Amino acid sequence: MLLGAAEQGLLYGLMALGVYLSFRVLAFPDLSVDGTFPLGAAVAGMLILRGVNPFLAALAGGGAGLLAGALTGILATRLRIPGLLAGVLTMIMLYSLNLRIMGRPNLSLLGKPSVLSGLAQVLSVPRGYGTLVASGIFCTASAVLLLLFLHTELGGAMRASGQNPDLVRTLGVNPHNLQILGLSISNGLVAFSGALVSQYSGFADVGMGVGTIVAGLASVIVGEILLRPRSLLGAILAVVMGSVVYRLAISVALRYGAALGFTASDLRLLTALVVLGALAAPALRAALKGESP
Amino acid sequence: MILEVLKVTKTFVLGAERLVALDGLDLCLAEGDFATVIGSNGAGKTTLLNVTAGTYRPDRGKVRLAGRDVTHWPAHRRAHLIGRVFQDPLQGTAAHMTVAENLALAAKKGRRGLSPLLSARRRRTLAETVAGLGMGLDQRLSEKVAYLSGGERQALTVLMATMTKPKLLLLDEHTAALDPANAEKVLAVTEKLVAEHRITTLMVTHRMDQALQVGNRLIMMHKGRIVLDLDAEKKRGLKVEDLVELFRRVGVCDDALLLGQGLAVG
């Protein structure tokens, strides 16, 4: 159970990094991830079924996510559609698009080559730990690249644009372009994560993206509560750690929750309550101290 | 001429009401001019800055910067020629980035490649630059700007706005949100940096004493027009009372303005 949670935590960790980029860095709650997660799985799944190398297929899935994220960014900036609505529109469009890409609601990838087992074989990792090591490599590589990017001139400008768009404008940069690029990278990560998860679980499903944003936010918030990061490095570590802890909590809940009367279908309710509690904590704390909202 | 604002009109429509913020305003600033702008609320001071910076486009008229017609340039494009400091110290910096990162962003104005924002060498240069403020910020380069006081933050913003030596500096009541001691400090820093880089400056202020104390030109606005434009010679030796008298003579008698001075001066 621990092993499975760690594997999943690392694979979904890429998705959580994407959500961190949009939600925390850009201050943009982006709901399109519910559509880009299965988009990555759908594109990669179709390519694998046509005999494409699973790594290239996952990259192509991520590429599709980049484009979808840019679409949300363009809707929210150039067309001035409120951010939440822009994300919802992209998500709904992708639902139909994902069905069209797959041609049916569900693709089975069982028995097909997977980049996770492939990588484990190449590295000749001891049996049983192959998936964990491969997941760790993907997650670490993405985290390192994201961290390096956020420390570049462009990445620095992007961080500033989430905190203070006026400042970025006075520095001669159009904050809209930074937002489009940021959402693009964010959804690229999410779709890449979706592609890897589908190879891990052996199927791509049009419904696999429901609740992605909530799971991503839960990972980001759980990580922040556990690590209380002060630097970017800490923040990124916290996201990955939050994702692993979140998946662990889910597998514990699925295993022992039945004794308390919970079923698997209650999972999303519980996740949403965790996120709700964490987001409401500052207001609740203030209310307890007697400050008015 | 560094700045030419030519016959600029800007009207805002608020429901059924039309508010003429700038009414065919003309203003030219020569290289090295440091003009202070005063006027009552609604005189159009901030709109003048916004039209100059490109936040708003004028309904009619032209804006020329360093000889180029920039009337239709968006704000971020003009930013290469303009430094700007707002009233709110929170508006000029990124709170959750460090002092060094904020300075590096300003130093790399407009450049946004994939090279590192902060190298060891850049850090040293920035430390030297910020040490010039004399506030000890060179020892706090790795601190987040959120932990700085309002005065420190605003001094940092002035430094960020001037370090790339823009053609024009716009100051929008940039000391108004600070306590008197900090306001004095930030104003001193501003004068020092403007003199050092010889930057043409347009400073909006609500305090007549400040408007008289700094700069080589004093402009009074009323109802979207310039009603008084004093050069350095006429400005010298003038007291707040003389200024109030001048206002009365040009027909501007605004209780709120005079009351405001009473509070600020007394």
The ipTM (two decimal places) reads 0.89
When pLDDT is averaged across residues A246-255 and rounded to a whole number, the result is 86
CA A148 to chain centre: 18
Residue A43 is predicted with a pLDDT of: 98
State both tokens at A127. Answer: 């049996």
The closest CB to that of A156, out of B77, B92, B101, belongs to B101
Alpha-carbon gap, residue B143 to A169, rounded angstroms? 23
- Type and span of the H or E element at B163: none
Amino acid B255: pLDDT: 55
Quote the CA–CA distance of A281 and A291 in Å, as a whole number: 14
**Torsion angle of the four alpha carbons A233, A236, A240, A243, in this order, in degrees rounded to the nearest 10:** 140
* Mean per-residue pLDDT, A174-178: 95
- Chosen for mutation from B50, B117, B122 (greatest number of chain A CBs closer than 10 Å) is B117
Q: What are the residues whose beta carbons fall under 8 Å from the beta carbon of B60, sequence distance 6 or more?
A: B7, B8, B9, B24
The minimum CA-CA distance between A292 and chain B, rounded to whole Å, is 23
Nearest-CB residue to B106 (from A163, A166, A171): A171
Length of chain A measured in residues: 293
* Structure tokens given for B27: 């203003």
Task: For residue A156, give the nearest of B82, B83, B105 by CB distance.
Answer: B105
pLDDT digits (tens, 9 = 90+) for A6-58: 999 999 999 999 999 999 999 999 999 999 999 999 999 999 999 999 999 99
How far apart, in Å, are the Cα atoms of A211 and each of A42, A91, A215, A271, A275?
17, 12, 6, 9, 12
CA distance A64 to chain B (A): 23
pLDDT digits (tens, 9 = 90+) for A211-228: 999 999 999 999 999 999
Minimal CA–CA distance to B164: which of B111, B219, B240? B111
Residue-level pLDDT at B96:
94
Which residue did the predictor score with more confidence, A286 or A76?
A76
Q: Is A232 on the interface with B (CB under 8 A)?
A: no
What is the helix (H) or strand (E) element at residue B62, kind and residue range? strand B60-65
Average pLDDT over residues A219-238: 94
**Cross-chain Cβ contact A163/B94 below 8 Å:** yes
Spatial separation of the C-alpha atoms in residues A161 and A150, rounded to whole Å: 12
What the block records as the tokens of A44 is 């990669």
Residue A2 has what pLDDT? 85
Using the beta-carbon criterion (under 8 Å), do B114 and A163 form an inter-chain contact?
no
Which of B53, B96, B112 has the CB atom closest to A157's CB atom? B112
d(CA A261, CA A3): 26
Q: How is residue A112 written in tokens?
A: 């097909």
Q: What DSSP line would sit under A179-212, residue for residue?
A: HHHHHHHHHHHHHHHHHHHHHHHTEEETTTTTTH
What is the structure's pLDDT at A276? Answer: 87
Task: Give pLDDT, residue B131.
Answer: 94
* Chosen from B112, B157, B172 to mutate, greatest number of chain A CBs within 10 A: B112
What pLDDT, on the 0 to 100 scale, is given for residue B265? Answer: 39
- Report the mean per-residue pLDDT for chain A: 93
Provide the strand spans (E) within chain A.
Answer: 106-108, 203-205
Nearest by CB to residue A173, choosing from B53, B97, B112, is B112
List per-residue pLDDT tens for chain B, 266 residues long. 999 999 999 999 988 888 899 999 999 999 999 999 998 888 899 999 999 999 999 999 999 999 999 999 999 999 999 999 999 999 999 999 999 999 999 998 766 789 999 989 999 999 999 999 999 999 999 999 999 999 999 999 999 999 999 999 999 999 999 999 999 999 999 999 999 999 999 999 988 889 998 999 999 998 899 988 999 888 888 888 888 887 777 766 555 555 555 444 33
pLDDT at B263: 42
Per-residue confidence (pLDDT) for residue A11, from 0 to 100: 98
Write down the pTM of the prediction. 0.90
Residue A140, pLDDT above cutoff 50 = yes
pLDDT at residue number B248: 76
Residue B73 sits at the vertex; the CA angle it makes with B69 and B76, to the nearest 5 degrees, is 130
State residue A287's pLDDT score. Answer: 86
- Note which residues in 89-108 of chain B have CB less than 8 A from chain A: 90-97, 101-102, 104-106, 108
Place of tokens 């590589």: A141
Q: How many helices (H) and strands (E) does chain B have?
A: 10, 10
Quickly tell me which residue has 């904590």 as its tokens: A281
